[in-house]
Amino acid sequence: MWLRRLPTDRIAKRYPPDALVIAAPVKGALGLSAVNDAAVALGLRVGMPLADARAMHPKLAVADADERADFALLEAIAEWCDRYTPLVGLDPPDGLTLDISGCAHLFGGEAALAHDLMRRLERQGLQARVAVADTVGGAWGVARFSPALPPPERGRSASETSRVGVIPSGDERNVLATLPLAALRLPAETIEALSQVGLKRIGDVLDRPRAPLAARFGAEFVRRLDQALGREDEPITPRLPIPAAITEQRFAEPIALERDVLGTIEKLAAKLCALLERRGEGARLLQAALFRTDGKVFRIEVGLSEPLREAARIRHLFADRLGVIGDEVDPGFGYDMLRLAALVTERSEPAQTGLAQPDHAAELAHLIDRLGARFGLRRVTRFVAQDTHIPEFAVMAVGGTVSAHARASGHPVLGSGSPLSRGRAAVEQDSLIPTRPIRLLARPEPVEAIAEVPDGPPVRFRWRHVLHEVAHVEGPERIAMEWWRDEAGYTLMRDYFRVESREGLRVWLFRGWLTDAERPTRWFLHGMFA
Amino acid sequence: MLPADMEQLSRLRRAIAKSEALPEEVRPLAFGVAEIDAALGGGLSRAALHELSATALQLGAAAGFALTLAALASEQAKQTLWIATDFGTLETGALYGPGLDQIGLPTERLLVVRVARPVDALFAAEEALKCRALSAVVAEVNGEADLTATRRLGLAAREGGALGLLLRHKVSDAPSAAFTRWQVAAAPSVPDGFGGLGPTAFHLSLTRNRRGPCGDWTLTWNHHERTFSALSVSVAAAPADGPDREALSA
């Protein structure tokens, strides 16, 4: 699909001037980077210096080029095209590639799909030329260069049929033969070189021996030719990951109520789950795409802690998610299509559940999913011990999912022994009080502390403007930072003290210094005991 | 008041008491300290909401007390959920795994969820309390938990059977539907023979108790055995500190 006047259409949607050109700096001067049909009729061409164009037509409407806005529009159109097929590839600056194999029949055939696409784009004020072919290269060339598709001019209605080209399967060769070589997606230099030797149309090169062509014009030339003719496979790079399973529902009348949306999601989820069950899989990441009638698409994703295939739960999760992002999803005039896709799936065997006992694991997984749907799965965490003695790194928060924990720690979650308490902590537990605080500040906070002897424990310290007298202290426990963590080449040393104030406040203080000695030591508060 | 009215009133009272009563089969969480358990009617009710509050300086102690309660309530095959807010984490630090293990709550039975807004903490707490796979739910909140919110949480706890703990980062007298309210502070520990730090000690004020009297206690927590023991008991409303401390340091 070629959006032939994308930059001007973007602006003309808002201001419909007669002739519009887009100017962009070319080699230090402003040149025309895009023109609309009215401007073409005035004799303006892309590449012409802006000054010349102004001289010819002083009243010409000029807009600055904005490639990012153009690209954003292209993306928005691609997003909207998602209603036809999940496999939409971007072909910047002004093209889209849709793989419609297997879904054209849903719209009444390839030609009907192309017409539908075109008609809807036209209504949005976008001019497009659509070609359907067996190969990406063939469709590209026909959409842009086929004389059978004359560029329509505003006002004068070229019938829509003339702008949709459907190449019958196996007919690429004949259709392409009539097109200029530029239809092969070749760099300008190659086309130039080819035209110098009198080769202008694709038909001129089709029957020539390949080896000399490749030798003279490069392997790229032959590859493009092969791609257009289908001798070489050319995959479409999809904009979005292709889901593992998809279900969708179209509505004759747009729906807008959240209740209806959720009801539809549940219905689709039931279908999706049946599909996944046959494969012995469960969904780990679900996405609901809501296609609004005006072309906007909302995508709502829900991650799951365990492979899931239960429609009612899926509905709950989306209800939670919608509850959070409610304001961002504005139904406007309603949605005319809803798609539920399992983006990531995982093997999941049906587990046998006891009849007598409540299924705690499943209930917990559901809770984690619901919290995850609302706050993001990354915010639901567990602790996993790490093999380091640096307090900050001794524990890592991993995703709250049961399986993530088991994977990270190598221990079953509901087992008897704790990986933390079995390790180093267990050795230190013969103390009367815990040796590690229950809360650790993300950054140690500087405190003013006074010690009686240079390397001794503190006798009083001021933290957050409050002065505390030390009643009891245990320490020091010396912890050297791992040398590779310090880029300056010095190792930071810390002497930790467990300190109890007169009032009973128990905190973890340390004195830090660098091994190169001369620097002054400083005191920090790192954590709080119970 | 007419006898008929009295009759009506007492019937209503019974109905309310019945609807607010806890399920019979749930065993309360005993402290193992006779005076407290007596005041609480056997111990802290599970399947109910309890409030802990502390001044800013004592938040470490309050979190510690919540952890000890969660450790007491902890059961095999059930988990504890801790709900923290971003602000609270910045202010008082995040829970630290090795320390939790040492105080007696195994980290493999602990889930932490961090939410951005305090209202989210209430939502998470309500959802979590309804879940029967949890033994305790601790939510760190400020003043957001009002009467309605605490009542909802209480009902959710009754449904799910978990011990619900609301950890307020501020001491407040705002009305609340919690079963009990505690004010927690760290108490000076009794040092060991060598002058080192003694076992963790809490000063607890029970300021509201639906089942019985209030009181002040100082307890120590044995993190090996996971038991409380009394350091001092004051039957009457205790003075803020002073006498206790001197008695200890003597």
- With beta carbons less than 8 A apart as the criterion, state whether B7 and B25 touch: no
CA distance A400 to A383: 9
User: How much is the mean pLDDT over chain B?
Assistant: 84
Residue B241 has pLDDT above 70, yes or no: no
Q: What is the pLDDT of residue B249?
A: 40
Please give, rounded to a whole number of angstroms, the shortest distance from the CA of B196 to a CA of chain A: 6
Chain B residues lying within 8 Å of A442, measured CB to CB: 89-90, 93-94
- Based on its alpha-carbon atoms, the radius of gyration of chain B, rounded to whole angstroms, reads 19
For residues B24, B25, B31, B32, the Cα torsion angle rounded to the nearest 10 degrees is: 110
Chain A residues lying within 8 Å of B63, measured CB to CB: 438-439, 528, 530
Could you say which DSSP state residue A101 is in? T
Q: What is the pLDDT of residue A426?
A: 42
Phi then psi dihedrals of residue A153, to 5 deg: -115, 145
Chain B residues lying within 8 Å of A503, measured CB to CB: 57, 186, 188, 241
pTM, full prediction = 0.69
- Residue A62: HSE in the Cβ half-sphere, 13 Å Cα cutoff: 21
Chain A residues lying within 8 Å of B78, measured CB to CB: 360
Hey, which bits of A293-391 come out as E strands? 297-308, 335-347, 380-385
CA distance A21 to A37: 10
Tokens of A293: 């009638």
CA distance A474 to A486: 28
For residues A211, A214, A215, A216, the Cα torsion angle rounded to the nearest 10 degrees is: 120
CA distance A26 to A8: 18
Residue B22 has pLDDT above 80, yes or no: no
Amino acid residing at A10: R
Tokens of A344: 């990531």
Q: pLDDT tens digits, residue range B141-154?
A: 877 788 899 999 99
Place of tokens 């005035």: A42
Chain A residues lying within 8 Å of B191, measured CB to CB: 472
Candidates B51, B53, B47, B120; CA nearest to B83 is: B120
Q: Which of A375, A413, A505 sits opposite B113 (nearest CB)?
A: A375
CA distance B29 to A101: 65
Candidates B146, B229, B127, B125; CA nearest to B187 is: B229
Report helix angle A360-375 to B118-129, nearest 10. Answer: 160
CA distance A468 to A457: 14
Please give, rounded to a whole number of angstroms, the shortest distance from the CA of A459 to a CA of chain B: 14
Is the confidence metric ipTM above 0.90 for this complex? Answer: no
Chain A residues lying within 8 Å of B112, measured CB to CB: 380-383, 397, 400
3-state secondary structure of A297: strand
Q: State the SS3 of A44-55.
A: CCCCCEHHHHHH
At residue A141's C-alpha, the angle toward residues A140 and A143, to 5°, is 70
Phi then psi dihedrals of residue A244, to 5 deg: -75, -30
Q: What is the pLDDT of residue A527?
A: 92
Q: What is the pLDDT of residue A394?
A: 77
Q: Mutate which of B72, B87, B197, B202 to disrupt the A interface (most A C-beta within 10 Å)?
A: B197
Tokens of A121: 């784009």
* CA-based nearest residue in chain B for residue A463: B57
> Which H/E stretch holds residue A474?
strand A466-480
Q: What is the pLDDT of residue B182?
A: 94
* CA-based nearest residue in chain B for residue A435: B99
Question: Are the Cβ atoms of B93 and A504 closer than 8 angstroms?
Answer: no
Hey, which bits of B176-238 come out as E strands? 180-186, 201-209, 215-222, 227-234
CA distance A335 to A331: 7
Report helix angle B118-129 to B147-160, nearest 10. Answer: 30
Distances, alpha carbon A293 to alpha carbons A71, A121, A255, A332, in Å: 22, 13, 10, 8
Q: State the SS3 of B109-126.
A: HEEEEEECCHHHHHHHHH
Q: What sections of chain B are H helices per DSSP? A: 3-20, 34-39, 59-73, 86-92, 97-103, 118-129, 147-160, 243-249
Q: Which of A364, A421, A498 sits opposite B197 (nearest CB)?
A: A498
Could you say which DSSP state residue A302 is in? E
Tokens of B194: 């060598």
- With beta carbons less than 8 A apart as the criterion, state whether B55 and B112 touch: no
CA distance A188 to A39: 24
CA distance B11 to A488: 77
Pairing of strands B201-209, B180-186: antiparallel
| Cα A199 from chain centroid (whole Å) | 44
CB-defined contacts A:B, below 8 A? 221
| Cα B243 from chain centroid (whole Å) | 26
Q: Which of B57, B132, B200 sits opposite A529 (nearest CB)?
A: B200
Q: What is the pLDDT of residue A430?
A: 54
Question: Are the Cβ atoms of B98 and A503 closer than 8 angstroms?
Answer: no
Q: From first to last of the 530 residues of chain A, give the pLDDT tens digit.
A: 777 777 777 776 655 556 778 888 777 788 888 887 777 778 888 888 888 888 888 878 888 888 888 888 888 888 888 888 878 888 877 888 888 877 777 788 888 888 888 888 877 778 778 888 888 888 888 888 776 654 444 433 444 444 667 777 777 777 788 888 888 888 888 888 888 888 888 888 888 888 888 888 888 888 888 888 878 887 777 777 778 888 888 888 888 888 889 999 999 999 998 888 888 888 888 989 888 888 788 888 888 877 888 888 889 889 888 887 877 888 888 898 898 988 888 887 766 655 555 678 888 888 888 888 888 888 888 888 777 777 877 777 777 665 544 544 444 433 333 444 444 444 454 566 788 899 999 888 999 999 888 888 899 999 999 999 999 898 888 888 776 766 565 667 888 999 999 988 999 999 887 766 666 778 999 999 98
- With beta carbons less than 8 A apart as the criterion, state whether A177 and A169 touch: no
CA distance B99 to A434: 7
Tokens of B164: 């619900």
- With beta carbons less than 8 A apart as the criterion, state whether A363 and B131 touch: yes
Question: Are the Cβ atoms of B96 and A527 closer than 8 angstroms?
Answer: yes
CA distance B41 to A105: 72
Q: What is the pLDDT of residue A352?
A: 60
Residue B203 has pLDDT above 70, yes or no: yes
Which residues make Cβ contacts (< 8 Å) with residue A198, sequence separation at least 6?
A204
